[in-house]
Structure 1
Amino acid sequence: MKFIWRNIICRFGLPREIISGNGRQFKGKRLQEWCKGLHVRLRFTSVAHPQSNGQVEVTNRIMVQGIKRRLERVGGNWTEELTSVLWAYRMTPRGSRGESLFTLVYGTEAIIPTELGIPSHRDACNSSTSPTRMDLHV
């Protein structure tokens, strides 16, 4: 419920309905009563027909592939890489319109840190280099 409140309701407002898998975290009486109190319809995908949730399965596959690629390069815990993979997924133009999910949700393109002039890790490490040398490209 905390996740739904923080990441969905507080950001986008109350949804008319929530469609989820059949996990027990979604079938609990507390969540059902909470949704009922907010007038949010709670629906579940069919256990016998999982392909009815095909777009979610495609997205999950892309997420898993992205996490695997990141772990092959940097190692570590997959949960630490999830936000980077989600960011890349949300910023990548897709579909027939060629727009990113970010653009579709917020109506504008995202500004990435390099466009704002925020120093990268490399810039921070080279901060001891004198400004004169940097201006002269030496």
Structure 2
Amino acid sequence: MPQNSIQICEIFDVWGIDFMGPFPSSRGNKYILVAVDYLSKWVQAKALPTNDARVVCKFLKSLFARFGSPRAIISDRGTHFCNVQFVKVMLKYGVTHRLSTAYHPQTIGQVKVSNRDLKRILERTIGENRASWSDKLDDALWAFRTAYKTPIMCTPYKLVYGKACHLSIELEHKAYWALKQVNFDLGS
């Protein structure tokens, strides 16, 4: 029986990407493009006015500049991910593009879970003012990145930066209650 070599995977080697939306317009934005690192659970997201190939490629170039070129990007088969412009970016940076199948959506399950959690945090943060969601996206990302994740036994922030995130008491209090509300909702 042939032996398979063990694949070593490091943080930021494999990202899943997906769009959320459309949402009510907020500062001209209707969509959120979400990227999740499969190992660290780190989430990058950007509010965008459209969900086309141009904005995806610009987002990925920014992601690669910050975290380095990954080994693979996993996405669904949306036209914003399956096009010539996207393929050119993947080739330029030496990234393998993996597609989920319609019959096996678990392939991008990590992104779907992160989308759901990010949406819940945003809903709690914006309250009744639905048009302010794009202003609150950074706060929601911070709450997500500093929340304990059982699979990695720490927060994504600690795994990426090697230390806990220290903030003012007021911010910690707001984040605690937002996450407590989200976790309470997840339990029901």
| Fold match by TM threshold 0.5 | yes
The aligned length equals 113
SS at match of 2:87: helix
Following superposition, the deviation at residue 56 of structure 1 comes to: 1.7
Deviation at 1:9, TM superposition (A): 1.2
User: Are 2:175 and 1:109 aligned?
Assistant: no
Looking at structure 2, the residues matched to 52 and 17 of structure 1 have their Cα atoms a distance apart, in angstroms, of 13
**Equivalent in the alignment of 1:33:** 88
SS of equivalent to 1:79: coil
Q: Which aligned segments of 4 or more residues in structure 1 are displaced greater than 3 angstroms?
A: 73-76
The percent of aligned pairs where both chains have the same amino acid is 30
Which protein is richer in strand relative to its size? 2
Aligned-residue RMSD, C-alpha: 1.9
Task: Report 1 or 2 for greater relative contact order, CA contacts < 8 Å, sequence distance ≥ 6.
Answer: 2
Q: CA deviation at 1:27?
A: 0.8
CA separation in 1, counterparts of 2:83 and 2:152? 38
TM-score by length of 2: 0.54
**Structure 1: any 5+ residue segments left out of the alignment?**
116-138
Q: How does 1:70-89 map to 2 (within 5 A)?
A: 70-72=125-127, 75-89=130-144
Q: Matched residues in 2 for 1:60 and 1:81: separation?
A: 15
Preserved contact between residue 74 and residue 108 of structure 2 (Cα < 8 Å): no
1:4 matches 2:64? no
In structure 1, how many angstroms separate the alpha carbons of the residues matched to 2:89 and 2:151?
37
| Structure 1 residues 93 and 37: alpha-carbon distance in aligned structure 2, compared to 1, 3 A threshold | same
Q: Where does structure 2 lack aligned partners over 5 or more consecutive residues?
A: 1-56, 170-188
